[in-house]
């Protein structure tokens, strides 16, 4: 039987600790050739509304450990602005509903094992990446988080930061006062820490050991001139990287890794965050397609270390407490969903969760 696993099921079985462990193992297997993935690929097509475009995104990967997964998203993309901040918005069918799915299969017999809603898992894997970066690059005594954003990614990153460091204080800013105050109260209660909802973005940086920009902004929200010595930077969403001033101040940069080139085609190797194929390429696109150039790859090649470098002892990350560090996943998204999806599938089976449907519905007797 094939399982249909919804977000509620995922929420019941997937812990942040298990997510971090699964991703670390996957990145290690990528480094030693036991796992493989490809970059995220988007297809973008203009809709009949010139202010919106359709975007279909996929990423996939698997390992000798037993699982393969492809994650796909079907979105209508547009941009909005609030208090001067340009945000990326999306929906499927109508605002408030979304289509993101993970198909998990067995590498031993090809069996379609599960279809998993990606909402909760998506937030958990992104938060776990933030936690892995902090684990390997932030100072051991890092305890103050300065955060931009008060949504789902902010919540899972706080989970991850608390899993790898003893966090004692959070200072958070987001453009909507009610949202940041609600988030601040939630974090105060959940982690029993001191929390300040900041009225000005510059207040986020004061005394912060970890600076996390976790927003849906379409442009960079960090201000590198305000970073304090010894801070570690995490950026999710928006432009996908810190502003230029911040990058100029980074002393050590952890990029978990890059996808390999297709076999026999070294010219197709890319470190780009994702690649896109576009209909009407000269027509304005939104969200991830707002720029027509190449999506950023290795940000600071002369300061870069990889996850493989760290676990092998080939290189160190931070070498002094005063250094400013920055971490990002790279374009290994495809290596995440088989790893975390496998954990979810095994735990759901163990707990009797998910909706069973006959696997025979996905099989046929005509060879393709």
Average pLDDT, the chain: 93
* Candidate ranges 105-114, 217-226, 238-247, 278-287; pick with highest mean pLDDT: 105-114
Note the CATH architecture for domain 139-258+297-330: 3-Layer(aba) Sandwich (3.40)
- Strand 274-278 and strand 252-257: the pairing is unpaired
| Stronger pLDDT, 127 or 85, i.e. the higher one | 127
Distance CA 3, CA 103 (A): 10
Per-residue pLDDT tens digits for 294-318: 677 888 999 999 999 998 889 989 9
The 3 state secondary structure assigned to 157-209 is HHHHHHHHCCCCEEEEECCCHHHHHHHHHHHHHHHCCEEEECCCHHHHHCCCC
Alpha carbon 82 to its chain's center: 24
Q: Band of the pLDDT at 275, cuts 50, 70, 90?
A: very high
pTM exceeds 0.85, yes or no: yes
Annotated domain spans of the chain:
139-258+297-330
Band (pLDDT 50/70/90 cuts) for residue 293 is: low
Instruction: Write phi, then psi, for 171 (nearest 5 degrees).
Output: -125, 125
């Amino acid at each position: 039987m094939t399982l249909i696993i919804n977000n509620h099921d995922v929420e019941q079985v997937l812990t942040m600790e298990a997510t971090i462990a699964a991703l670390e193992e996957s990145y290690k297997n990528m480094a030693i050739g036991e796992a493989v993935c490809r970059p995220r690929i988007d297809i973008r097509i203009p809709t009949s509304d010139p202010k919106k475009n359709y975007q279909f995104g996929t990423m996939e990967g698997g390992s000798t450990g037993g699982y393969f997964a492809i994650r796909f998203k079907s979105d209508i993309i547009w941009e909005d602005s609030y208090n001067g901040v340009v945000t990326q918005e999306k929906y499927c069918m109508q605002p408030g509903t979304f289509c993101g799915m993970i198909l998990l299969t067995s590498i031993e017999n090809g069996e379609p094992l599960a279809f998993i809603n990606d909402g909760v898992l998506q937030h958990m894997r992104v938060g776990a990446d933030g936690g892995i970066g902090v684990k390997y690059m932030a100072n051991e005594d890092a305890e103050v988080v300065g955060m931009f954003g008060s949504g789902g990614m902010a919540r899972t990153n706080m989970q991850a930061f608390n899993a790898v460091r003893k966090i004692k204080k959070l200072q958070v800013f987001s453009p909507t006062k009610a949202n940041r105050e609600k988030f601040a109260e939630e974090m105060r209660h959940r982690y029993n820490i001191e929390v300040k909802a900041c009225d000005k973005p510059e207040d986020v940086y004061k005394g912060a050991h970890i600076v996390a920009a976790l927003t849906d902004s379409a442009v960079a929200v960090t201000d590198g001139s305000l970073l304090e010595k010894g801070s570690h930077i995490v950026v999710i969403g928006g432009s996908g990287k810190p502003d230029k001033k911040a990058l100029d101040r980074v002393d050590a940069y952890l990029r978990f890794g890059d996808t390999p080139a297709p076999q026999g085609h070294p010219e197709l190797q890319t470190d780009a965050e994702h690649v896109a194929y576009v209909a009407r390429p000269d027509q304005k696109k939104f969200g991830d397609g707002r720029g027509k150039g190449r999506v950023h790859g290795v940000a600071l090649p002369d300061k870069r270390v990889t996850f493989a470098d760290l676990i092998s002892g080939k290189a160190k990350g931070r070498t002094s407490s005063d250094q400013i560090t920055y971490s990002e996943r790279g374009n290994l998204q495809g290596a995440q969903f088989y790893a975390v999806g496998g954990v979810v599938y095994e735990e759901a089976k163990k707990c009797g969760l998910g909706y069973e449907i006959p696997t025979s519905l996905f099989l046929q007797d005509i060879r393709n």
